[in-house]
A and B are shown apart, each in its own frame.
Chain A
């Protein structure tokens, strides 16, 4: 059994929640800022992984973005969490907490 795959699946499951949560804390953020935070948390290694997730969350209406001029290059997309995103984040966080509790319980019992 390939453990890396299992670990990757675990990370993948929580990435969307983490992105939403980062955006709630930051107000608005540029993908590179989000990447920085996710790298610190050891959740993502390369930037290419983030763009599909942002696009998907945006298409579901959980995020939106606006363009901002940049002094050093092309205009940048800044992402923000929507009200719908806030609701989803609350639901996700709640399930996550239950999940962690349940998982810890079952690990301890072994």
Chain B
């Protein structure tokens, strides 16, 4: 028995097995990592997703659920980043970082309620609630809380209680638990890597700025 998720691949809706989703998600993330620094990364990812959607549609013929073996077939056709390594190495040019377009609006259990400081307007309660219920856009939760203020105002004490009762998701493992991703070494390593990337980017831009300033002084 497996859970079923509903996902959007290349603009097309699919029902997908929980295990198959994990596989596909990891695959797309690893592709993204691979193409991150190449020009037109978004477009490449878009094309690949569309092609994967097409492979799914061809094989499913309008019915059924995307299974692990179907995801594996698609990965075999498209190739893993390791397979590209030999055929194609990333060209370094100012690539843009972007989020994956595969979205998941299934509710995952085993999550914990945290406050999300990275997406906070006041204390991150709404963002945490959105993660907990698997709601993609925090704005809906905020809207619900705002409407509650007019409908008797019960959401104000609710907000304060939630604020007091939850803590901030401060560590990578907290963030994984908040988003319902299994806490294993691989996932934690991925989160930590993302954080380090952010720090390096900040440092790089700071250094560039400083060099530019130096040039100005000299010039």
Q: Is B182 an interface residue (CB 8 A)?
A: no
In the bound complex, CA of A31 to CA of B47 (Å)? 10
Q: Is A44 an interface residue (CB 8 A)?
A: yes
Residues B78 and A46 in contact, CB atoms below 8 Å apart = yes
Residues B35 and A49 in contact, CB atoms below 8 Å apart = no
Residues from chain A with a CB closer than 8 A to the CB of B44 are 51-52, 55
Residues from chain A with a CB closer than 8 A to the CB of B53 are 73-74
Residues B87 and A49 in contact, CB atoms below 8 Å apart = yes
Residues from chain A with a CB closer than 8 A to the CB of B31 are 48
Identify the stretch in A5-13, A83-91, A94-102 within 8 Å (CB) of chain B at 4 or more residues.
A5-13
In the bound complex, CA of A77 to CA of B80 (Å)? 22
In the bound complex, CA of A91 to CA of B38 (Å)? 25
Q: Is B206 an interface residue (CB 8 A)?
A: no
List residues 38-81 of chain A with CB under 8 A from any CB of chain B.
Answer: 44-49, 51-56, 59, 70, 72-74, 76-77
Residues from chain A with a CB closer than 8 A to the CB of B76 are 46
Interface range on chain B: under 10, 10 to 19, 20 to 34, or 35 or more?
Answer: 20 to 34
Given contacts A47-B77, A51-B48, A55-B47, contact A73 B35 (CB under 8 A): no
Nearest Cβ on chain A to B146's Cβ, whole angstroms: 37
Residues A49 and B88 in contact, CB atoms below 8 Å apart = yes
Residue of B nearest to A32 (CB): B51
Which A residues have a C-beta under 8 Å from some C-beta of B? 4-5, 8, 11-12, 31-32, 44-49, 51-56, 59, 70, 72-74, 76-77
| A-B contact sample (9 more), CB < 8 A, given A5-B86, A46-B83 | A8-B87, A31-B51, A49-B79, A55-B47, A56-B40, A72-B58, A73-B12, A74-B10, A74-B11
